[in-house]
A = this chain, B = another copy of it.
Amino acid sequence: MAVYTTVDDTALNRFLTAYDIGEVLSFAGIAEGVENSNYLLRSTKAHFILTLYEKRVDAEDLPFFIELMTHLSAAGMNCPLPVAARDGQILHELAGRPCALFSFLDGTFSRFPNRAKCRALGASLAELHVKSQGVSRHRANALGPASWTPLLQSIGTDANILAEGMHATITTRLEQILQEWPTDLPHGIIHADLFPNNVLFVGDKLTGLIDFYFACEDILAYDIGICLNSWCFEADGSFNMTKSRALIRGYESVRRLSATEKQAIPVLAAGSAMRFFLTRLYDWAHTPKDALVSPKDPMEYWAILRFHQSVSGVSAYGLDLSSPNGEIQ
């Protein structure tokens, strides 16, 4: 939560002469996003978000993200619309950083979304998977399953700060996930980070999906695993099957899942838990003890991982392969 790059009024006004957005009425750095600097900009014409891309985002990936958001907006999805300057270009530079201007989306996020929101999220996730077909650029998942073993190796025995023998336990569980990892499921563009803080609502109406900077190509149903983990566990760590069912029903109201996809949900969700567990553990081990920003506790995702590896089948998620909604009938 920070603004890393400061933009003063002189630089801003010079920058905005390239755009046809009217006169600036307000401009404030907002404390959202851990990767980039974001400013809320209001002009006589509209509200915008100005994003300055910081070092953690690879500039070579920016055209993919911009094309994806432009494509999804054009297809009617509630996501930030990249705004072109008078020269027709979207990506520019400001204060030494690549940057882009986006339409502002109404809405606030819910820390613990209710069932109606889970259903709406599921439907929007499926819409994203369907409507992103036709995007011409490509981006591999840099944090996909192939990266997990090297990531665990780079953490090494630092993993034992969590508990004695933890490195060995993680290794075993990771091997199990990778052995079971499906290879024949539908691929496409996934959001890959659709946590509740990246989804905006007014009341229970979903008004925006934001922060596409982890979007990449991978197994579509893996994105469901990411959402199950971040939307369907309660504050006390318990799994809310009612929310899970609502999320998947919402998804299937837009895109039907095959029986093979459904059967893969436990391992995909476990893999997603492993991915966030490992990146959090890496940050945990690499953040100085006296840092102002505390890293997120990796153990939250370890508990989620254990849940998925303990379930006996897809019924635990409120899924029924023999239901009229499934493909096996």
With A1-B3, A108-B9, A111-B10 already in contact, the answer to whether A29 and B30 are too (CB < 8 A) is yes
The CA-CA distance from A25 to B200 in the complex, in Å, is: 10
In the complex, what's the smallest C-beta–C-beta distance from A233 to chain B, in angstroms?
Answer: 16
Q: Is the CB of B107 within 8 A of A25?
A: yes
A26 CB–B CB distance under 8 Å: yes
Point out the residues of chain B lying under 8 angstroms from A32, CB to CB: 28-29
Point out the residues of chain B lying under 8 angstroms from A25, CB to CB: 106-107, 202
Point out the residues of chain B lying under 8 angstroms from A203, CB to CB: 23
Point out the residues of chain B lying under 8 angstroms from A1, CB to CB: 2-3, 29
Q: Is the CB of B27 within 8 A of A28?
A: no
Q: Is the CB of B9 within 8 A of A31?
A: no
Point out the residues of chain B lying under 8 angstroms from A8, CB to CB: 111
A5-44 CB mask vs B (1 if < 8 Å, else 0) is 0001110100000000001111111111000000010100
Residues 65-121 of A at the B interface (beta carbon under 8 Å): 104, 106-112
A292 CB–B CB distance under 8 Å: yes
Q: Could you say how many copies of this chain the assembly holds?
A: 2
Q: Is the CB of A23 within 8 A of B292?
A: no
State the majority secondary structure of interface residues on A.
Answer: loop
A44, closest chain B residue (CB): B202
In the complex, what's the smallest C-beta–C-beta distance from A216 to chain B, in angstroms?
Answer: 27
The CA-CA distance from A29 to B28 in the complex, in Å, is: 10
Taking residues whose C-beta sits less than 8 angstroms from the other chain, chain A's interface range is 35 or more
The CA-CA distance from A28 to B10 in the complex, in Å, is: 24
In the complex, what's the smallest C-beta–C-beta distance from A21 to chain B, in angstroms?
Answer: 14
A38, closest chain B residue (CB): B28
The CA-CA distance from A200 to B9 in the complex, in Å, is: 11
The CA-CA distance from A2 to B32 in the complex, in Å, is: 11
Q: Is the CB of B108 within 8 A of A26?
A: yes
Point out the residues of chain B lying under 8 angstroms from A12, CB to CB: 108
The CA-CA distance from A10 to B2 in the complex, in Å, is: 23
Among A23, A26, A27, A32, find the residue whose CB has the most chain B CB atoms closer than 10 A.
A26
With A9-B110, A12-B108, A40-B40 already in contact, the answer to whether A28 and B26 are too (CB < 8 A) is no
The CA-CA distance from A290 to B12 in the complex, in Å, is: 30
Point out the residues of chain B lying under 8 angstroms from A28, CB to CB: 30-32, 40
Q: Is the CB of A9 within 8 A of B111?
A: yes
Point out the residues of chain B lying under 8 angstroms from A110, CB to CB: 9-10
With A23-B203, A203-B23 already in contact, the answer to whether A109 and B31 are too (CB < 8 A) is no
Residues 288-310 of A at the B interface (beta carbon under 8 Å): 288, 290-293
Q: Is the CB of B111 within 8 A of A26?
A: no
Q: Is the CB of A31 within 8 A of B10?
A: no
Rank and list the top 3 A-B pairs by shortest CB-CB distance, nearest first: A29-B31, A3-B31, A8-B111
Chain A residues in contact with chain B, CB under 8 A? 1-3, 8-10, 12, 23-32, 40, 42, 104, 106-112, 200, 202-203, 288, 290-293
11 A-B pairs besides A26-B107, A29-B32 with CB distance below 8 A are A1-B29, A9-B108, A9-B109, A9-B110, A10-B111, A24-B108, A25-B107, A25-B202, A26-B104, A28-B31, A292-B292
